[in-house]
Amino acid sequence: MTSDDAAAYKHPFLALHDYGMGGVWWRIRARSEREILETFAWVEVVTDPEIVARFEDKELDEVDIDAPHMPAGLDGLRAERAAQRGREGFGALADRDIVHLRRRWDEDDEEPVVYLMEVESDGRRIRQVELAEDGTAVRSGPDDWPFNPPIVDLFDPALVGQEITRTEFEEHWSRARQADGTDYL
């Protein structure tokens, strides 16, 4: 197959790096959505027809997935994914619809907290339990968060060691109090 033949099999995909308070958009020419996800960390392929239609006439950087150089931002996401690719556990959670994780949050200005998260395949939280060191457990859901960007990249091999069972998550969820003091259904 010549390079011209390979290019013929590529299609433009709308891609987003959502960083919470905004995002960066590109059109990436690739052979598949999966190829994009395996090539760039923290990028999602947007397929919602309404969103895709909104971007049809917008000027976006358009890049070929095989190009040696990427636009600013996308270059770092490709380098991050390349560093992950050879590590054990790379992509092990990527094909799951729902993943349950235990992640420790240790900021200098805050008390250490453990978050138990139920996460969708796009890395966004569905539900969360915050476990403080004093034993306090608070649960929350999308209605409690001002925005809900992807908080994990399920191709990241480091996440394999953070996975917990659905049963463990549900046990903590059932004992936790709701973030605003009301019961959460």
pLDDT digits (tens, 9 = 90+) for 126-145: 999 999 988 899 999 999 99
Mean pLDDT rounded to a whole number for the chain: 91
Domain boundary (85, 109, 133) is at 85
Q: Which domain holds residue 31?
A: 3-85
Structural domains of the chain, count: 2
pLDDT at 2 over 80: no
Domain boundary (85, 120, 138) is at 85
Residue 62 lies in a domain: yes
Give the torsion through C-alpha atoms of 32, 38, 43, 49, to 10 deg. 20
Task: For residues 21 and 72, state if they share a domain.
Answer: yes
pLDDT over 70 for what percent of the chain? 90
Q: Which residues, 6+ apart, have CB-to-CB distance to 113 below 8 Å?
A: 104, 105, 130, 131, 132, 133
pLDDT at 51 over 90: yes
pLDDT at 183 over 50: no
Task: For residues 104 and 45, state if they share a domain.
Answer: no
Domain boundary (85, 107, 136) is at 85
Task: For residues 18 and 63, state if they share a domain.
Answer: yes
Task: For residues 103 and 159, state if they share a domain.
Answer: yes
For residue 9, the number of C-alpha atoms closer than 13 Å in the C-beta half-sphere is 10
Task: For residues 39 and 103, state if they share a domain.
Answer: no
pLDDT in tens, 142-175: 999 998 999 999 999 999 999 999 999 999 999 9
Task: For residues 53 and 102, state if they share a domain.
Answer: no
Task: For residues 19 and 67, state if they share a domain.
Answer: yes
Task: For residues 76 and 125, state if they share a domain.
Answer: no
pLDDT in tens, 68-107: 999 999 999 999 999 999 999 999 999 999 999 999 986 6
Task: For residues 132 and 61, state if they share a domain.
Answer: no
pTM of the model: 0.85
Residue 103 lies in a domain: yes
Residue 91 lies in a domain: no
Task: For residues 40 and 108, state if they share a domain.
Answer: no
Higher confidence at residue 32 or residue 106?
32
Task: For residues 74 and 103, state if they share a domain.
Answer: no
* pLDDT at res. 133: 86
Task: For residues 67 and 138, state if they share a domain.
Answer: no
Residue 93 lies in a domain: no
* pLDDT at res. 7: 58
| Cα–Cα distance, 86 to 4 (Å, whole number) | 29
